[in-house]
Amino acid sequence: MAGCDYEIIVHGVAANSLDITITCADEVSLDGLRVADSAASAFITRKVAAAETAHFHIDLAAFAAQSDDYDGALRIGRSLLVSPSAILPIPQPGDIDLRLHIKAMDGADFAIALPQDSSGAFVLRSGDVEDAGEWVLGQFEHFSLAEESDMQVATLDAPIALSQEELRRWIGDVAASNRRFWGAVPVAPALVAIIPVTGKKGLPFGRVMAGGGATILLLLGAETSLSQLYDEWVLVHEFLHLGSPLMRDTGIWLNEGIATYFEPILRARAGWKNEDAVWQEWLLNMQRGLPALTETGLNRAPSRRSYWGGALFLLLADIQLRHRSGGRVGTEDCLRAVLKEGADVRQRWLTATMLSACEAATGHTGVLNSLAQKYVYGHHPLDLDQVWRDLGVSLGKDGAIHYDDTAPLAVVRQSIVWGDKVEWPPIGQGR
């Protein structure tokens, strides 16, 4: 079979080094092997090998000591987080299958999010290496969520206040909320890699990498309690990314807008946030994205405006779709339809393809593409205060939310958070 086989041996209980032996099909040259990210090149030694193989030794301990960053390699206790783009020598050029046969020695373990073939080898396309998620190596706590197609959860080797059972409960609840929204497990295989942050509470950072499989990298304050986690938005936001293709031709606004807009909705439907808090968050924050629509256009907006600018675009689209359908159809319906066709976070789409697919799925043409002409490829005035008045929602001086059920779009407002259901069964025990 065309492609290359990688025999990867992890040495040391704390994953101090790797030996990689590469054998490729005849048409694949071993002469041009190189790592996609040169950060680790000083720690990679090519050994003498037979003509039909290439052998590399990688000093992970030294690389992690220099890098000390999750974009390259990060040592946490007896565990190590490393980016495959920094350590996998790959053939150039071309896009071929890399079959990874991984063996951990000396009591070490590994967790990665890649599909496996019938032989048990992990399969990664060489063209996906730069986007592939981090690997967890060494000794660390881990478990899998059977109901999420055996999603793995790996916590790097540092003490945290939470037990593994509490982590399982919380991540399982977030995953269940996400699965209910999408109508299915959005992507498999998947891994949540947790980096404890000493002396901190909350979730300082999260991101998704999706070359081959999907890896959610999550920074977790080591002092965080279970009850505090249900007040956090970061993991819900990152899980939402799993269900949509990656769109970057017009910037990050659509991917980030989807996650920013629907995150409080999912938390409300799960019973972790009330409806007033959703509208309060939007009334306070949607204005942060307004200049992206009115001054630059979303395709030229800086990152700091793309999150709430994208969320505002989704709100405007939701209003129009629900107004036309009597509250029965919204942007969430088009997103589910796109995922059902197989377009999850591992796929790469154009923005225009996504918008047109959404219009076809909802049966309401001329909504998203019309909004895109005004606010993505151009910029146009928008009276956001009037939008809130039409929806019949306002923020009092005391911070309380007030509703006006006589407003022209009051019925639409009521369907935005709850969709076509009067009540959603809560998920988990929360606090």
The per-residue pLDDT for range 86-112, each reduced to its tens digit, is 999 999 887 899 999 999 999 999 999
The per-residue pLDDT for range 66-81, each reduced to its tens digit, is 999 999 999 999 999 9
Q: CA nearest 371: which of 389, 390, 352, 385?
A: 352
The per-residue pLDDT for range 335-370, each reduced to its tens digit, is 999 999 999 999 999 999 999 999 999 998 899 999
Query: Over 80: is that where the pLDDT of 160 sits?
Result: yes
The span from the CA of 259 to the CA of 186, in Å, is 14
**How much is the pTM?**
0.97
The span from the CA of 259 to the CA of 345, in Å, is 12
Contact of 195 with 74, CB cutoff 8 Å:
yes
Please state which CATH number belongs to domain 140-242.
3.30.2010
Give the pLDDT band of residue 429 (cuts 50, 70, 90): low
For residue 142, the cross-strand partners are 154
Contact of 187 with 152, CB cutoff 8 Å:
no
User: In 10 A of CB 408, how many CB atoms?
Assistant: 12
Which residues lie below 8 Å from residue 304, measured CB to CB, with a gap of 6+?
none
Query: Over 70: is that where the pLDDT of 148 sits?
Result: yes
For residue 101, the cross-strand partners are 7
- β-bridge pairing 214-221 and 190-197: parallel
Q: With the CA atoms of 228, 230, 234 and 235 taken in that order, what torsion angle do they form, in degrees rounded to the nearest 10?
A: 120
Q: Taking the domains of the chain in order of start, what are their residue ranges?
A: 1-128, 140-242, 253-418
The order of strands in the sheet holding 109-111 is 73-76, 79-82, 135-138, 109-111
Handedness of CA 70, 247, 261, 188 (dihedral sign): negative
Contacts 24+ apart (CB under 8 A), 120-124: 121/5, 123/97, 123/98, 123/99, 123/212, 124/84, 124/88, 124/97, 124/98, 124/100, 124/211, 124/212
Give the pLDDT band of residue 431 (cuts 50, 70, 90): very low
